[in-house]
Amino acid sequence: MTALAWIEERARSGRLRPLDAALAQLVAAHTDADDERVWWMLAVSHQSGQGHVCLDLPAAQRLFDDDCPWPRPQALPDPDGDIVGIPGDTALLIRDGERLYLARDWQAEAQVLWAIRARLPWRTLPGGVLAQHAAALFPAGHGDGLDWQKVAAMHGVLRPFAVITGGPGTGKTWTVARLLALRLLTARALDPHASLPRIRLAAPTGKAAARLTESLQASLAELALPEDIRAALPSEAVTLHRLLGIGRDGRPRHNAQHPLLVDQVVVDEASMVDLGLMTQLLRALPADAGVCLVGDRDQLASVEAGAVLADLCRLATGAYSPDYAARLAAEGLPVPAAAQRPEQDLVVRLTRVHRFGERSGIAELATALREQDDTALAALRQAPPADLGWLPAQRPEVLQQALAALRPVVQVAAEGADPAAVLAAFGRFRVLCALRRGPWGVEQFNQELVRALRQGGLAAGEWYPGRAVLLTRNDWALGLFNGDAGITVRDPADGSLKVAFATLDGAVRLVAPVRLPSHEEAWAMTIHKSQGSEFEQVLVVLPDQDSPLLTRELLYTAVTRARRRLQVAGPAGLLAQAARREVQRQSGLAERLLRD
């Protein structure tokens, strides 16, 4: 089989993207099909499709099967100035040290680096002002020892580029509310006659933006603030696409030529933001605008290439440079010092859990997965706390547990309850599947749940009160997007069937079923689709045997979707196996930030 035939066969079978094949064929047209640079273009493009920003030699040597027509590479390709170049060249591929990039990905990473470096200098504040306002916003004794939430808020004011990371229940949103108030109060102290900073809040998805809006409003309501400060606080979070004005063609309305009118941007659920979207955001900001990324570094990374939050969190070691420590110490916070570079001062990690009780199984399981603690995982299975339950990999029992939670929701919808009440009931519980296909995948599980509802007389016809759907395509005209979940209700106005969706402002939107874009059943959803959401109760369904798709990040994300009650269905020992399998996305961001 020729090299091009091999590429075409793999593209037809779905093992390569059409884009991968097209780029390799483009290089072959300018060289020769057997040229090793064809293979390198194919390999780098394929890695990009898998979420990696670049490719190094060890990863390249593991790619593809033994029937690959090219020999295993022994070294990265030498730059030729045309197909393979070095930084500054206009080649298709860029070799930077021991990494090989698609030119667009190298440029995107370089722009993120430039934006961060431009924001490394500290803000100048009058002495003692930050500590004075922080003391009023953070109650005495809130933290045991050093109050890292207070540190994080002060950190976000002092640093024009800041990262706050932490697991579920560590108070990230609570801290952000005080960070925003602190930013405005210190700006007013710096210049009482100047306009207050313009602040925008954003998240990668509509679900995450709505949850941030709700949580932030509750946290801000606790604060006693002057009226002008309260008026300057943002009232809602929006999606990054809406903030940037990204249209159907993928092009943002706001860019370097038409920047956002903003002085501070806070991005929640930043683990979901890929390199391309982060680049678009940073391009659209004025040079003096502050950026604060907030998220959980241990969750699943973005669907597209890059893991910016995780890359930046890898720089953090838990200690701070002497300059950073001195600044915070001057404000009354004795942060330990260590001789480090200023780039490593970007991140503050919150570790103390406030949401759960002292013996929370959800929190303990999340910690055990994050730390790959087999002993803790085994102990939690043998003696689970009240909020954690285990089910064997036996289909009847798993379906029974799911139906016990779903039937009341369908019944409420069938009785013609108010759409907002039905939506609220729908949002309290979800089945999360690790896989899409197969006996324990989301497609099969949804089919069996719907079949059981029909047999119980709760579902008749294609559309019925209580049918839950998940959109799989965008509809810009309707303002509905891939990943939005809704439930079928009776329209109070005329009794017709409509699908209810929650809007970002907390209202309910009713849409006729015939107008919906492509969709699927939504009683069960994949763990990937659940990112940015939280539910009162979650049932996680694992396959009956190990799979390469089961990773520590996937399971951690599933566990941290639950607020009050978590059940896990799957074989004993599977969590420990999966916890040892980590997703490592290749990127040069952290290394280049320290090197360049």
- Determine whether the annotation assigns residue 172 to a binding site: yes
Q: Which burial class, exposed, middle or buried, applies to 296 when counting CB atoms under 10 A from its CB (0-12, 13-18, 19+)? A: buried
* Tokens encoding 431: 């089945």
Task: For residue 523, give the amino acid letter.
Answer: W
Report the C-alpha gap between 427 and 255 in whole angstroms.
Answer: 36
Q: DSSP string spanning 55-110?
A: B-HHHHTT-S-TT-SSPPPSSPPPP-SSSEE-TT---SEEEETTEEEEHHHHHHHH
* Tokens encoding 433: 């599947």
- Determine whether the annotation assigns residue 171 to a binding site: yes
- Determine whether the annotation assigns residue 170 to a binding site: yes
> If we measure between CA atoms, which residue out of 78, 24, 76 comes closest to residue 48?
24
- Determine whether the annotation assigns residue 169 to a binding site: yes
How many CA atoms within 13 Å lie on the side-chain side of 553? 19
- Determine whether the annotation assigns residue 79 to a binding site: no
Report the C-alpha gap between 511 and 501 in whole angstroms.
Answer: 8
- CA-angle at 315, arms to 552 and 254, nearest 5°: 90
* Tokens encoding 526: 């994949």
Inter-residue contact 355 to 560 (CB < 8 Å): no
Task: For residue 456, give the amino acid letter.
Answer: G
By DSSP bridging, strand 347-350 and strand 161-166 are: parallel
The residues with which 350 forms a beta bridge, in sequence order, are 166
- Determine whether the annotation assigns residue 588 to a binding site: no
Report the C-alpha gap between 241 and 247 in whole angstroms.
Answer: 8
- Residues making up the annotated binding site are 166-173
Question: Residues within the annotated binding site for ATP?
Answer: 166-173
